Structure 1
């Protein structure tokens, strides 16, 4: 596993972050992923760049500022690239007052990165405790993570550009599957975006300057009032009914939990249609990971301003379909999880 993680660190620094000689790389991490942060720092130095490693141990925090101090702001602003690993390890064990201040602090760091347009990789390496609580073996996740970042990024981008061509200028999408899903919505007037797993576009100063790792998806914001039909998600224990763009009913074993979340203002509105591109991702029942898998699509509800949509909400929830069939303006884009050749 050590060799695989070292290789993954190399791919992240060289192929995803595109770090160059003499650049300054700020690496943020929690205590649960400090070993991997060390590997990232080593790879940074091998290139001839300069790593700054920022360790955060939330188990030692008794009080915390709501914003980073000026000296820390200056370091953030001067970074050429930020590689931000999941930083929380035991934050849920903090007193509520302290936890709110910690969240406010990191929200301020994130906002500062956005304001300064610092190219940022958000690396999804949750704590072992969090993974186990969600039914995922931490060692298995590390293995799958290494596979998911060790892919051909150029090939993934090429596929993404092809799919964007399908969606650009199209009017309607229909999703079906063998579980009973049948959902139709409009994408007329909306433009697709591509997350190809690299900071290439960030460095060209495009609108967004962050990329999630593992990565790989094409996304578009459906017209918010246009979704009709249902999503059937047996792996999530859920079935959602859409009408005029909103979720109007939820059933299944985990329905009560989702109903509460959808009460958030704007939370029940269709927000996103995404297509996974990453051939190295094997679904693990972890949405932030599974939605990148080649052969899947996802539909989200909630906030979508960042995707070119018009709905504002405090939540964004993705629902993954594992072997869908997708028609765009009546033409087959994907059949049972297999992307078709464009005619």
Structure 2
């Protein structure tokens, strides 16, 4: 256990730039409580005032935390969200960032992930790759993703690429930890076509067989197979089925494990998500955000091949 506390101390110091006089808030739930206590011990070992808040487990990624948690998140300098479902794309996270907190979201992180895979990356390399792809997304307008004779197109015109490097040095910076992705909010009604998902889906895990998603005017209208049916159920009938995100993995140490926190960071993959995207430049609020990972796709940006491997 002490070895993991040392890992957590290194993360607090190097990834979150925790300073001696800063308050550290750890938000957790029953499923993630054991790992949250490791970071609680680490924060106290660094002599930081460290607060551990345990809430009822949310029912899905993107669901807001309770009001007392949201208020506390705005009051700390460093916030770790070590939870079963993701708080990354919530209003609470966005408001905490706006208040100046450095926020690391760690949905579904496991003991294994504290020692292997994405967390062990060369984060200077991750930062360089992430900035590179964000620059391309910033300048781009039209994206197409092709896989197994299927093609999905959508617009990102006027939207900004968001870097998630896993390193948060400055006030208001936030993202996943471990991390490594460049992502953007597509124009919500612009996506048309079909795409094969063959990696993993948040809340479902690694797919045993690929599924095909069909979108029309930005909305998911059809999903094949049992996992496709489960995806539709997770998203609900309304705004949850609107395209929310296009992301590019930039972490060469990340593995496809069934945990989307790591899966969507794998270099050589891209992901699309459905549901909320207002916290990162979109217009949709849905109370859910579900990522779908695609392995080895062919991506073009304004007609030019986008090399991701």
How would you bin the TM-score normalised by the shorter chain? 0.7 to 0.9
Please report how far the alpha carbon of residue 273 of structure 1 lies from its aligned counterpart in structure 2 after TM superposition. Answer: 0.4
Please report how far the alpha carbon of residue 122 of structure 1 lies from its aligned counterpart in structure 2 after TM superposition. Answer: 2.1
Quickly say closer, same or farther: Cα 1:167–1:116, change in 2 above 3 A: closer
**Which of 49, 52, 58 pairs up with 2:50?**
52
Matched residues, number: 288
Please report how far the alpha carbon of residue 39 of structure 1 lies from its aligned counterpart in structure 2 after TM superposition. Answer: 4.1
Alignment match, 1:311: 284
Cα distance in 2 for partners of 1:85, 1:313 equals 22
SS at match of 1:84: strand
Alignment match, 2:204: none
TM-score in terms of structure 2 length = 0.79
Gaps of 5+ in 1: 60-65, 89-106, 127-140, 339-343
Quickly say closer, same or farther: Cα 1:306–1:29, change in 2 above 3 A: closer
Matches within 5 A, 1:137-286: 141-147=110-116, 148-177=118-147, 179-201=148-170, 203=171, 205=172, 209-235=173-199, 236=207, 237-286=210-259
Please report how far the alpha carbon of residue 19 of structure 1 lies from its aligned counterpart in structure 2 after TM superposition. Answer: 0.7
SS at match of 1:253: helix
Q: Deviations over 1:270-300 (max 9, x none)?
A: 1110011122210112223311222211011
Cα distance in 1 for partners of 2:189, 2:240 equals 13
Alignment match, 1:84: 81
SS at match of 2:132: helix
Please report how far the alpha carbon of residue 20 of structure 1 lies from its aligned counterpart in structure 2 after TM superposition. Answer: 1.5
TM-score in terms of structure 1 length = 0.72
Q: Which has the higher contact order (CA 8 A, sep 6+)?
A: 2
Gaps of 5+ in 2: 58-65, 200-206
Alignment match, 2:39: 40
Cα distance in 2 for partners of 1:290, 1:274 equals 11
Alignment match, 2:261: 288
Please report how far the alpha carbon of residue 266 of structure 1 lies from its aligned counterpart in structure 2 after TM superposition. Answer: 1.7
Q: Deviations over 1:79-128 (max 9, x none)?
A: 3212232279xxxxxxxxxxxxxxxxxx99768745644222222345xx
Quickly say closer, same or farther: Cα 1:257–1:78, change in 2 above 3 A: closer
Please report how far the alpha carbon of residue 9 of structure 1 lies from its aligned counterpart in structure 2 after TM superposition. Answer: 1.0
Computed over aligned residues only, the root mean square deviation of the Cα atoms, in angstroms, reads 3.2
Alignment match, 1:323: 296
Please report how far the alpha carbon of residue 29 of structure 1 lies from its aligned counterpart in structure 2 after TM superposition. Answer: 4.0
Tell me if 1:18 matches 2:1: no
Cα distance in 2 for partners of 1:182, 1:168 equals 22
Quickly say closer, same or farther: Cα 1:273–1:109, change in 2 above 3 A: closer
Cα distance in 1 for partners of 2:101, 2:145 equals 37
Structure having the higher Rg? 1
Cα distance in 2 for partners of 1:188, 1:28 equals 35
Matches within 5 A, 1:51-70: 51-54=49-52, 56=54, 67-68=67-68
